[in-house]
Amino acid sequence: MDCHVSGEDQKKLYRKALLAGISVAALLSVSAHAQDDESNEELEEIVVVGSQIKGARVSGTLPVSVMSSDDIDNTGAASGDELFRAIPQAGFVAFNDNNVGAGVNAARGDVNSINLRGLGTGNTLGLLNGRRMVLHPGFQTENLVPVVTVNSNTIPTLGVGRVEVLRDGAGAIYGADAVGGVVNTVLRHDFEGITAQVRYGASDGTSRDELTASFQAGFNFNEGATHLALFGSYQTRSGVPASERPYSASSDRRPLVEGTAFEGDSEFRNTSSSSPWGRFRLETRIDSLGDDDFHIQPSSLSGCIHDLGNGLCIDNGGSVDESLRFDFDAERYLNPDLDRLNSFAMLTHEFENGVEYYAELGFYKSKTQRPQTYGLTLSASRYRLPADAYWNPFGPTTLADGTPNPNRLPGLTDVPEEGLEMTVYGYRPTDLGPRLGTVRGESYRLLSGLRGQWKDWDWDTAVVYSEAKSRDLTKNRISSTLLQQEISKTTSDAFNPFLGPTGGNSQASLDAIAIDVRRNNSTSLFLADFKVSNPAIYSLPAGDVGVALGVEARRESFEDDRDERLDGTITFTDAVTGDFKTESDVVGSSPTPDTSGSRWVKSAFVEFAVPLVSPEMDVPLMQSLDLQIAGRYEDFDYSGTTAKPKIALSWVPTDGLLFRGSWSKGFRAPNLVQLFDTGIRRQNTRDDYVQCQAQIEKGIISDFGDCSGDGIESVRSGARSLENENSTQFGAGIVIQPEVFPGLTITADYWSLKQNNLIGILGDQNQIALDLVLRQSGGSNPNVIRRAPDADQQDLFAGTSLAAVGEIIEVRDAYLNLDSRKVEGLDLAIIQDIETNDMGNFTIKLNAARLLTFEQSAGETSQSLIDNSPVNITGFGDLMEQNGRPKWRMSLSMNWKKDNYGAGLFARYVGAFDDTSARISVNGEDVYWRVEDWTTVNANVHYTFEKGALEDTQLRLGVNNLFDKQPPLADENFGFFGSMHNPIGRFFYIDLKKTF
């Protein structure tokens, strides 16, 4: 799939594809709640997440929300990304198709993460039909720590019967990762007949359009003893250039903040000084240049010192004019082109003895493709241009064959006849063209199980094996070794870095430096379990006690196989001197070693459902009182054993009123990347506070704000000694169903969560700050590796309070169990069902999530640094309303049906928050850019035909983002907060569904 497909070619492609059905996303409906006996019987059939006891009446005890197929249709969503953004209780979506900033180190492609409560990726457990899903093979970092997730885009959307969301800690029921809650997707295993669905949609004002074709089929065999369900969908979607939206058309967004306190602030100038107007440094200063640094620029600009011809000249200094800075978004795409295939089969067969065999087979395949920004040279990887290099304008007077050098600038009386060597840095060779990234994803899932009854016990056992793979390939990358080799040639076929953006290098020269860079990742999951349950193991005066017990063993594995030019196999070695420079041979990318690992997890659980009071006992103000008690033991390779309890209680004092509460312990085990990462090296510009302190004491600079950053290599590594992150959850809620207002349900739930032992890194800049703190008391930080001080550094530190130190070689920053966190919030919901004889049926659902507290507390090491460091240490304290943590998130759904007609409206609200990457000082106080609140409205109408060729055919017309609301401006990639908002704009779609 080519990202540069013309509009006519797109039309041809789409005419060849089947029209598409709606991709599933969802409206989160409100909490499951206590109802009368008839309604409770219905809930027993539906709600399974949160309890392992088959038939247990715990629906009122647990804050479980269910998205039905009608809810899904009403949102008009077309991807898994939109599905989970529609849930007010969900936090920022870090894995999404707007990820471009981290390049090959991000989880790119068709991937979407789940993050209930905004606790961070990896704190929500994803289930498919009640059992774990394999993790997406890619990983990326949050707060510099690698995180992993399941990929919701692998689920066959048309086959979804419901999505269950447990908004409570569930470590005692399901084990690791269920800290923020559980999302369980249940497929329609009992469907009969055939349904085909097609959908086409297009975005107003952009080139984005998408087509999807889906089907589901269900068949009975063997006189009803065997049932086969099949689901499948194929979607194709076009990418959108960033230039098609005003907020993303340019990386310089200062015009968009005019009239605000940030007007003219450079925080919104996200262009780069590393541009095709190359920057160079001579080995010595020359008088005619007045400097040793120089750059290329157009002759039309002031400051030209030497004319290069072709409208180009040389100006001194290492900084290019602002007008020459590189604009990232000129060539980037907001979203990639996408092709996605989902398929799933479910088989059940009931034997004559009542035992049922069941099996699942799922397959997913995707391909995304998008242009990315041009390659660049990192400031820490500078390239040596020899004095006799052919295109060196300060080269020798004669070439190697004795002929006059046509490229030496005239009148260089202060340059020796043999020429001057120089280094190349901050150069972006755009004549090679933009990089093109293609990511192919694939996964499959196999499940085979048996279930049945023995006396009063229900039993269930199954084996699951699932694998996921991703193949990330980027074309038009540049080899450092080859670039060094080509610019060093002494013949006219050398690569010329002095041409500016117009280029002019031959195709042979470009081909000589171009390479493909790959990243291949895979994950696997093997799981075997056995569980039994009995809803009436023992009788109490209030009713029967239910119990569930089970055991589970699973093996998880992952492999991250990097390109041989990134993993240290092919290193960057100076082609002229033979000196080793870095383990990465890819221009603009830090080295990353291959990593792999696996572990076994063994667990056992027990759960009781205990009725304490029933209506028949006639206890005043206590129609019913029900208790859930659960516990789970897990044994992890490397991170040890843990046991976590849970208690939940529901009290019905009178008709239409229920109170509920829960307390539980939870945990998140270190993921495999955090355990097995052998050492990721990253180049960053950091301040050496020790050197800066000496400069302050000598009066060279006034404060740490004047520190001049240096290129420093950080080494982040995993540790198999990491411990589990632990959590304590508490929740209390109320459900009201007033008899005077039939069909009305109101719920309110308070929740709080405390986490400790959070896995993180101190950060290379904080490690350097700690080095200063320790050196001020006579010690040092062993994680900051330095060279011996040279004579200049000895002179700098002479007469100061510090012993002399050399420059930093590297900072070692291992993952550690560091800090703690406290989060609190409210979940509010109102449902109103209205049934009329003449006007049809109405359903109104309001769902809101209010964040009350989000506080990060420093651990011992971090607190010591905060208490003693002379520089500000961030990331602690009150983090609410910062970086994707708004106070309010809400959704409103309105649905109407009458006879063959129907209509729906879905509104979504995301509150305002601060973007801390843009900051100014007002009266000595830091003020951050405020990302405004955002409201979008989706609407649809539908009609089902009863007669003729279209009998049993439903036609749906819809508009998402009806009022074409732009995402609010932020100082982020593409000008908006991609983990909270989307750039789709007003989107029209037509959907046709036929049942046979």
Q: Where are the domains of the chain?
A: 7-216+229-244+335-372+437-451+460-473+520-570+583-670+722-761+817-995, 680-698+712-720+762-814
Highest average pLDDT, of 333-342, 678-687, 700-709, comes from 333-342
Instruction: Calculate mean pLDDT across residues 761-771.
Output: 90
Among 518, 505, 511, 433, CA closest to 470: 518
What type of residue is 996? F
Residue 868 three-state SS = helix
CA 990 – CA 988 distance, rounded (Å): 7
Contact 229, 217 (CB under 8 A): yes
- Band (32; pLDDT cuts 50, 70, 90): very low
Is pLDDT of 81 > 80?
A: no
- Band (11; pLDDT cuts 50, 70, 90): very low
CA 609 – CA 632 distance, rounded (Å): 15
Side-chain-side CA neighbours of residue 577 (13 Å): 11
Range in 178-182, 441-445, 512-516, 933-937 with the lowest mean pLDDT: 178-182
H helix runs in 162-309, sequence order: 171-174
Q: Is 141 left (phi over 0), alpha (psi -120 to 50) or beta?
A: beta
CATH number of 7-216+229-244+335-372+437-451+460-473+520-570+583-670+722-761+817-995: 2.40.170.20
Check residues 907 and 171 and name the one with the higher pLDDT.
907
Is pLDDT of 425 > 90?
A: no
- The H or E element spanning position 674 is helix 672-676
Per-residue pLDDT, 812:
92
CA 401 – CA 491 distance, rounded (Å): 10
Per-residue pLDDT, 100:
66
Other beta carbons within 10 angstroms of residue 287's beta carbon come to 9
Is pLDDT of 27 > 50?
A: no
Other beta carbons within 10 angstroms of residue 845's beta carbon come to 22
> 832 φ, ψ to 5°?
-130, 115
- The H or E element spanning position 823 is strand 816-835
Is pLDDT of 377 > 70?
A: no
- Band (17; pLDDT cuts 50, 70, 90): very low
Instruction: Kindly list the distances between the CA atom of residue 567 and the CA atoms of 319, 378, 520, 584, in Å, as whole numbers in the listed order.
Output: 33, 17, 12, 7
Query: What's the pLDDT tens digit per position in 175-223?
Result: 888 999 999 999 988 889 999 999 999 999 999 999 999 999 999 999 9
Is pLDDT of 936 > 90?
A: yes
Per-residue pLDDT, 48:
55
Instruction: Calculate mean pLDDT across residues 510-529.
Output: 97
Residue 673 three-state SS = helix
Sheet hosting strand 808-814, strand order edge to edge: 680-686, 710-717, 808-814, 784-786
- Band (33; pLDDT cuts 50, 70, 90): very low
Per-residue pLDDT, 102:
57
Residue 209 CB contacts under 8 Å (≥ 6 apart), including other chains: 10, 14, 200, 201, 202, 203, 237, 238
Is pLDDT of 602 > 90?
A: yes
Two tokens at 652?
A: 């019905």
Per-residue pLDDT, 800:
94
Under DSSP, the state recorded for 38 is: H
> 284 φ, ψ to 5°?
-150, 155
Per-residue pLDDT, 75:
84
Rounded to 10 degrees, the C-alpha dihedral 878/882/883/886 comes to: 110
Instruction: Calculate mean pLDDT across residues 626-630.
Output: 95
Sheet hosting strand 312-316, strand order edge to edge: 306-309, 312-316, 291-298, 279-286, 422-425, 383-385
CA 136 – CA 112 distance, rounded (Å): 9
Among 85, 76, 143, 77, CA closest to 115: 85
CA 297 – CA 323 distance, rounded (Å): 10
Check residues 970 and 71 and name the one with the higher pLDDT.
970
Q: How many residues does the structure list for the chain? A: 996
Range in 157-171, 571-585, 879-893 with the lowest mean pLDDT: 571-585
Range in 595-609, 700-714, 896-910, 915-929 with the lowest mean pLDDT: 700-714
Is pLDDT of 98 > 80?
A: no
CA 688 – CA 695 distance, rounded (Å): 11
Question: What is the chain's mean pLDDT, rounded?
Answer: 89
Per-residue pLDDT, 189:
84
Instruction: Kindly list the distances between the CA atom of residue 165 and the CA atoms of 77, 184, 496, in Å, as whole numbers in the listed order.
Output: 18, 6, 59
Per-residue pLDDT, 575:
60
Among 387, 439, 442, CA closest to 415: 387
CA 460 – CA 480 distance, rounded (Å): 57
Is pLDDT of 574 > 90?
A: no
Per-residue pLDDT, 863:
84
Q: What is the CA radius of gyration of the chain?
A: 31
Under DSSP, the state recorded for 353 is: T
Contact 846, 869 (CB under 8 A): no
Instruction: Kindly list the distances between the CA atom of residue 768 and the CA atoms of 700, 775, 834, in Å, as whole numbers in the listed order.
Output: 20, 11, 64
CA 525 – CA 817 distance, rounded (Å): 26
Per-residue pLDDT, 173:
87
Rounded to 10 degrees, the C-alpha dihedral 285/290/294/295 comes to: -170
What type of residue is 122? G
Two tokens at 526?
A: 């093997």
CA 301 – CA 319 distance, rounded (Å): 14
Side-chain-side CA neighbours of residue 915 (13 Å): 22
Query: What's the pLDDT tens digit per position in 40-55?
Result: 333 333 335 778 887 6
Paired residues of 896 in beta bridges: 842, 903
Two tokens at 128?
A: 């498919």
Among 389, 419, 422, CA closest to 282: 422
Largest CA distance in the chain: 112
Other beta carbons within 10 angstroms of residue 256's beta carbon come to 16
Per-residue pLDDT, 708:
78
Instruction: Calculate mean pLDDT across residues 327-335.
Output: 90
145-147 vs 131-132, strand pairing mode: unpaired
